[in-house]
Amino acid sequence: MTPARTFPRRSRTLRGQESRAGLVLISPTLVITLVVVIVPMAWAIMLAFQDARLINIRYTGLLGNYTLGNFAYVLSEPGFWGSLATTLVYTVAGTALSIGGGLAAALALRSGFRGRTLVRASILLPYVAPVVAATFVWEVMLDPRYGIANVLGTRLLGWDDPVAFLTQAEGTFLGVDVPLALLTVIAFEAWRYFPFAFLFILARLQALPRDLDEAALVDGATPVQRFAHVTLPQLGRVIALLAVLRFVFTFNKFDDVYLLTGGAAGTEVVSVRVYNLLTARGDIGASAAQALVLAVVLVVFLTIYLRFFAKEGP
């Protein structure tokens, strides 16, 4: 009878020891998350509801005067809605082009050929290169005085004058006015981050069974039909995941746009506007409020994605 009585007690003791050991193991991660993520986020939310500026930041705190004035100021400024529209155009176009480029590269390098490993490795260079080096190369390449793009354009393509790709807000293409600088930073976004999509899509392509593709080939399906009806449906979840990841990353993007144009010539995205509010005006409360609005937009997008596109499937 004694062993039967002590066994449940010993089992509860072992479970308690395992629980305490688990808490000890995850405590470093919890502390880092608290210090690096939770506390700064709570501080930013608190500042968004206070009249906080660089000159009075020392007087702000948990017991400060809370107000919605920062949000009214941010939402009433005409420049905010323009920068939000620019951000959405930049994000959607950059996301679509980077995923499309990664898909095209993955399909092209799916089959084996001599030197395939070297080509696959070289495709990763835009993604792994430091952003400062990448933007500097593009600035030199697109410079209207000595950039290779303008040299080729004026000598081979018949351009009348050099084009200032990064400082000219609007340009004419085939008789149509286009936002030149914005299209340039979108092209940079697609070029720099298509290797990210390439890695995801290529990994999925390598795992696809060949049976369905071979059966479609035997049935006489064309390459386009095999891609549309066999390959693409099996890439749907990977592309959806890439879409949400690239949307979030691009929506928050600051360094690429700021290093290329500084937010000038019609390329002021919301993240650059937050930076300008913080540094140029010293308005910490308004910059925090605008960053909070940016976070709310991302939460809405993620909610839509999880509601309609992240359902369990086979």
Mean pLDDT of 140-163: 85
Q: What are phi and psi of 36, to 5 degrees?
A: -90, -30
**218 is a domain residue:** yes
**212 is a domain residue:** yes
Closest Cα to residue 263, out of 166, 126, 139? 166
Mean pLDDT of 88-99: 93
**286 is a domain residue:** yes
**35 is a domain residue:** no
Question: Would you state the pLDDT for residue 21?
Answer: 76
Share of the chain above pLDDT 70, in %: 89
Question: Would you state the pLDDT for residue 278?
Answer: 80
**27 is a domain residue:** no
Closest Cα to residue 247, out of 300, 312, 182, 178? 300
Name, of 9-13, 97-101, 149-153, the range with top average pLDDT: 97-101
Q: pLDDT tens digit string along 179-200? A: 888 999 999 999 999 999 999 9
Asked if the model's pLDDT at residue 96 lies above 50, the reply is yes
Helices (H) and strands (E) in the chain, counts: 16, 2
**100 is a domain residue:** yes
C-alpha to C-alpha distance for 290 and 270, rounded to whole angstroms: 8
What is the CATH number for 202?
A: 1.10.3720.10
**37 is a domain residue:** no
**283 is a domain residue:** yes
Mean pLDDT of 106-122: 85
Asked if the model's pLDDT at residue 9 lies above 80, the reply is no
Question: Would you state the pLDDT for residue 8?
Answer: 60
Mean pLDDT of 42-64: 75
The pLDDT confidence band at residue 303, using thresholds 50, 70 and 90, is confident
C-alpha to C-alpha distance for 130 and 135, rounded to whole angstroms: 9
Containing structural domain, residue 143: 77-312
What total of structural domains would you count in the chain?
Answer: 1
CA atoms within 13 A on the CB side of 181: 24
